[in-house]
Amino acid sequence: MGRRALVGAASTGAALALWAIVRLIVRTAFVTHAQWIDALCALAILLGCVFLCTCWYLDLRWLLCAVCLFGVLILQNLELDQQALHQHGRTEHVRVRQIRWSAGDGMDPGVHRYTVDVLDGPPLAPFEENGLMGWKWVVGGTYTVTVDPQGSAPLSRGDKPGPPVIQQFLQIPLGLGLAFALWRPAGLLLRRQRVPSAGPTQP
């Protein structure tokens, strides 16, 4: 029973450490507006998963660990955006004046560039949405958008959002999944540390 508690504490501690590292990376990328840091973190998670799967004979626990870390990375980005919009965002009603569509370069399916008139606030610069997953607005239509004047969060469609509690709660099962994925590696590591060194053999 004591060994199981020790392994659980070790796996939970490792999961919390990984969560804290991802949190630090995401917050640094958010504050500095450097999205390449998030991309580099995702690449590091992928390469780490491939390396560990190679060393541990394709243990599915490492795949689960990578999936949980990817989920934490995405949810923490959404949480910070939601928090910024909740603290600094304002709701504007806009009327679409012009829509331009630009073709992609083969990798990007293209974007919609919206030029809008703000009905109840200061003017907004034209903004872009992905052409494949865009909002599908029409010229002359009136819509509600949430704007962050500080520019820390992207403009979003809809009313002013609430606190980012949903993104925070969704990280709990991902953290539990991460601790479960690290259970066996933590147990093997503790077992190796407890194995006594072999003494001299007697004839």
Same domain, yes or no, for 26 and 44? yes
Same domain, yes or no, for 119 and 19? no
pLDDT at 24: 92
pLDDT at 202: 47
Same domain, yes or no, for 101 and 40? no
Same domain, yes or no, for 60 and 95? no
pLDDT at 198: 42
pLDDT at 197: 43
Quick check: is 154 in a domain? no
pLDDT at 82: 87
- State pTM to two decimals: 0.71
C-alpha span between 41 and 143 (Å, rounded)? 35
Same domain, yes or no, for 45 and 8? yes
Domain that includes residue 94, residue range: 90-147
Name the stretches of the chain with pLDDT < 50. Answer: 1, 105-107, 195-203
Quick check: is 203 in a domain? no
Same domain, yes or no, for 80 and 95? no
Same domain, yes or no, for 14 and 101? no
pLDDT at 86: 84
CB-count exposure of residue 190 (10 Å: 0-12, 13-18, 19+): middle
pLDDT at 113: 76
C-alpha span between 17 and 65 (Å, rounded)? 13
Same domain, yes or no, for 128 and 174? no
Mean pLDDT of the chain: 77
pLDDT at 118: 82
Same domain, yes or no, for 103 and 81? no
Quick check: is 12 in a domain? yes
pLDDT at 76: 92
Among 176, 171, 158, 16, which residue's Cα sits nearest to residue 79?
171
Quick check: is 153 in a domain? no
Same domain, yes or no, for 80 and 168? yes
C-alpha span between 11 and 179 (Å, rounded)? 5
C-alpha span between 21 and 16 (Å, rounded)? 9
Pull the structure tokens for residue 124: 């907004």
User: Amino acid identity of 3?
Assistant: R
Same domain, yes or no, for 13 and 74? yes
Same domain, yes or no, for 6 and 82? yes
Q: How many domains does the chain have?
A: 2
pLDDT at 73: 92
pLDDT at 121: 73
Quick check: is 38 in a domain? yes
Quick check: is 201 in a domain? no
